[in-house]
């Protein structure tokens, strides 16, 4: 990585972002912790905070969020004029604007989901602040544990990231990773040769669509994603969940299928028809109860 930037950081600017209908802070923070990228993000479960970079037209901005039952305390380390575009990005990332009343009503109709919704009635679907980062970390997490996926992501950032504000690294851009040989990715990150080729091909696909840091939407269609060697339906489904589609669903997810009694992906898809149009929320409730909290 390049040397640490020399310019001083501006003091944090405190902001309050309310979440009408509330939040499930412990569960959402546990989900963030499970996917924290070492070097690029920091999660402190004891303090209830998560830090990461949010990209703006003026460059990367370090943000810290503290979640509570009513909303988020947001600290932004940047000049005042840079703060304005950060606020909608954080609101979208943490799903703060969604009216959860219809979600709860729909999901409580299912006897399996009712106790989960009652336990965490304000659970929201955490999105992304950069679709490319989420796509790459999803590929790195294929067929391995959450801990292993975080390890791979941390190595990737250490090898190819750039320093950002507040001692946080910038996740490598699509263009940067597209220019790395698959053999070098394999060696630096500890991937299999096929996984390294997938990461590079995915980076090339995003670069070809001029993805910029901070783009939270997918410029690639589902068909284009599936055309990337090594990207299958689970990865495409998961990315749809994380990029703001409330009815997105991942029937092939192993954690989901275990939570539903060890059923097949086809059976999970049929089972989830009753959860439309909020299947992403049902999925997050099941993930949270099974994998993120105890």
- Same domain (yes/no): 76, 155: no
Give the model's pLDDT for residue 8.
Answer: 46
Which positions of the chain have pLDDT values less than 50? 1-8
According to the model, what pLDDT value does residue 42 have? 97
Residue 253 lies in a domain: yes
Query: Which residue segment(s) compose the domain that 163 sits in?
Result: 131-292
Whole-number Å distance between alpha carbons of 2 and 169? 10
Note whether residue 1 is domain-resident.
no
Q: Round to whole Å and give the CA distance between 289 and 283.
A: 10
Other CB atoms within 10 Å distance of the CB of residue 109: 12
> Is residue 58 located within the same domain as residue 157?
no
Nearest C-alpha neighbor of 156 from the set 119, 122, 198: 198
3 is a domain residue:
no
pLDDT at 84: 81
Residues 6 or more apart in contact with residue 40 via CB below 8 angstroms = 52, 53, 133, 153, 154, 157, 161, 168, 169, 170, 171
How far is CA 156 from each of CA 45, 180, 200, rounded to the nearest angstrom? 24, 11, 12
- Look at residues 97, 115, 146 and tell me which one is the last residue of a structural domain: 97
Helix (H) or strand (E) holding 15: strand 12-18
State the pLDDT at residue 3: 40
Domain assignment present for residue 109? The answer is no
Number of structural domains (the chain) is 2
203 and 135 both lie in a single domain: yes
Which of 50, 80, 97 corresponds to the end of one domain? 97
The token pair that represents 286 in the structure block: 């099941």
Residue 2 is predicted with a pLDDT of: 40
Output the pLDDT for position 175.
96
Residue 221 included in any domain: yes
Q: What integer pLDDT is reported at residue 5 of this predicted model?
A: 41
pLDDT digits (tens, 9 = 90+) for 168-198: 999 999 999 999 999 999 999 999 999 999 9
Is residue 154 assigned to a domain?
yes
The residue among 97, 116, 147 that closes a domain is 97
Is residue 70 included in any domain, yes or no?
yes
Task: Tell me, yes or no, whether 105 lies in a domain.
Answer: no
* 195 and 263, same domain (yes or no): yes
**Are residues 79 and 157 part of one domain?**
no
Q: What is the CATH number of the domain that holds 172?
A: 1.10.340.30
Residue 282 and residue 155 share a domain: yes
Burial status of residue 217 (CB atoms within 10 A of its CB: 0-12, 13-18, 19 or more): exposed
* 84 and 196 fall within a common domain: no
pLDDT value, residue 4 = 40
| pLDDT of amino acid 155 | 98
Question: With contact defined as beta carbons under 8 Å apart, do 108 and 120 qualify?
Answer: no
Same domain, 172 and 270: yes
Query: Same domain for 154 and 269?
Result: yes
């Amino acid at each position: 990585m390049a040397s640490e930037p020399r310019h001083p950081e501006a003091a944090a600017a405190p902001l309050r972002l309310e979440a009408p209908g509330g939040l499930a802070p412990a569960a959402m923070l546990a989900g963030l912790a499970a996917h924290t990228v070492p070097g690029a993000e920091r999660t402190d479960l004891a303090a209830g905070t998560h830090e990461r970079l949010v990209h703006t037209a003026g460059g990367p901005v370090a943000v810290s969020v503290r979640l509570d039952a009513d909303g988020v305390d947001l600290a932004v380390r940047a000049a005042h004029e840079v703060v304005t575009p950060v606020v909608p990005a954080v609101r979208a990332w943490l799903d703060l604007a969604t009216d959860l009343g219809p979600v709860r009503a729909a999901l409580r109709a299912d006897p399996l989901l009712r106790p989960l919704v009652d336990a965490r009635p304000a659970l929201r679907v955490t999105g992304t602040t950069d679709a490319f980062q989420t796509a790459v970390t999803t590929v790195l997490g294929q067929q391995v544990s959450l801990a292993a996926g975080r390890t791979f992501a941390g190595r990737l950032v250490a090898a190819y990231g750039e320093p950002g504000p507040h001692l946080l690294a910038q996740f490598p851009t699509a263009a940067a990773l597209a220019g790395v040989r698959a053999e070098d990715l394999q060696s630096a990150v500890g991937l299999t040769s096929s996984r390294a080729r997938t990461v590079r091909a995915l980076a090339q696909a995003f670069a070809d669509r001029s993805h910029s840091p901070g783009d939270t939407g997918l410029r690639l269609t589902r068909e284009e994603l599936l055309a990337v060697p090594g990207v299958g339906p689970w990865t495409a489904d998961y990315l749809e969940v994380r990029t703001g589609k409330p009815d997105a669903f991942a029937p092939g997810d192993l954690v989901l299928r275990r939570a539903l009694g060890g059923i097949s992906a086809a059976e999970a898809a049929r089972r989830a028809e009753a959860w439309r149009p909020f299947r992403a929320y049902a999925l997050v409730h099941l993930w949270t109860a099974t994998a993120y909290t105890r």
